[in-house]
Amino acid sequence: MVYKSMLFGPVGRQVEVPWPDSGMGSDNNLTTETTSLLSGEQAVYRAPLTYKSYNMSWKGGSTKLQPLLDVHSGVYGRGPYYISDPLAAAQGANLLPAKWSASHLLSHVGNGWGSPQVSSQLVTPERLQVKFTGNVDDPDYFPRPIVVPVVPKQPLYFALWGTRTGTASVAVYKYTASTDSWSAPVAYVPTLSNDAPWNIVTQAEADAGDIQAVKIAPYLPGTDELVLQHMDLATNDYRYYTPYTFGFDPSLYPSTTLYPGMTLYPSGPDNVMFRSGKGTGPVQFTGNIGGKIDSVVIDRIGLSMDIQEVSKDPNN
């Protein structure tokens, strides 16, 4: 796997395709609705969640781009599909989408599961948290878990901030390609401190290549309570993602200042930073792949496609 490539396709059937080399557009989309009031004032409704969309373009040989056409043609299933960026992982990005890393946004994802209540907190940069309260009539597991493909040859570390009562937790499953199955869930308990993250996919497992994705789902049995503040899923330990490690000027990050999605941890060694979720959930094609033949003689074509992040995921 080279870092000039990305992985694209369904869980367990992702194929390696080149990163767009002739252009890529990216949008973080927000749904709004403006209402004109009789008083002459304006009211704007802002949806609580955003979604990403991409336009990607390539120029290259037909053999090099054929895997992309195969995904679009349904060779690997109808989707939705996943994009994996090995370079972003190597640079220490939080692989979770924003609505999972800033966990209070999950209050808008689960269709009322756990009677979510959002309140303030002072532990993480978001300064908001969500409390889920169990109901015997609700399913024990979050109805829309998140699936994140494993980056080839890279381990995964998981950190979780919050509290719980009883046996409430966050469950993690691992997908094994050789058996085409998900493992039994392993429960992880949120804390309020900068503890060492859990190594949920070891280096040995990553090297073997059989575990190809993880699935994360809050677990809430009976009438237990689960409070979630922030989640971090990455190929390295979040405690070592610091402005010093990545060459930033430390003076730009005073401990009293909050920046969007990240802050210097007030008490950790080397001024630990929280990481915003930069991942993208499942995506789907929103139209045709358009293209043209640039040169028959040297077998060179140009392709362009549009994809959009979606909420429906067959792995859930």
CATH of domain 1-81+282-316: 2.40.30
Q: What is the predicted pLDDT for the residue at 311?
A: 82
pTM: 0.84
- Widest pairwise Cα distance in the chain: 68
pLDDT at 314: 59
Helix (H, G, I), strand (E, B) or coil at 30: strand
CB atoms within 10 A of CB 247: 6
Q: Please tell me the predicted confidence (pLDDT) of residue 257.
A: 42
- Kindly give the residue spans of alpha helices, DSSP state H, lying in 94-210: 98-101, 203-208
Q: Which helix (H) or strand (E) holds 82?
A: strand 82-84
pLDDT of the residue at 247: 46
User: Alpha-carbon Rg of the chain, whole angstroms?
Assistant: 21
| pLDDT for the residue numbered 37 | 83
Domain boundaries, the chain: 1-81+282-316, 92-277
Q: What is the DSSP string of 186-226?
A: EEE--BSS-PPPEEEE-HHHHHH--EEEEEEEEE--TT-EE
The kind and range of the H/E element at 188 are strand 186-188
pLDDT at 295: 67
Q: Collect the ranges in the chain with pLDDT lower than 70.
A: 1-4, 22-23, 88, 90-91, 239-273, 295-298, 313-316
CB hemisphere CA count around 248 (13 angstroms): 13
Architecture in CATH of 92-277 = Sandwich (2.60)
How far apart (Å, rounded) are the C-alpha atoms in residues 72 and 68? 6
For position 315, what pLDDT does the model report? 56
Task: Please identify which residue in the block is written with the tokens 């992702």.
Answer: 14
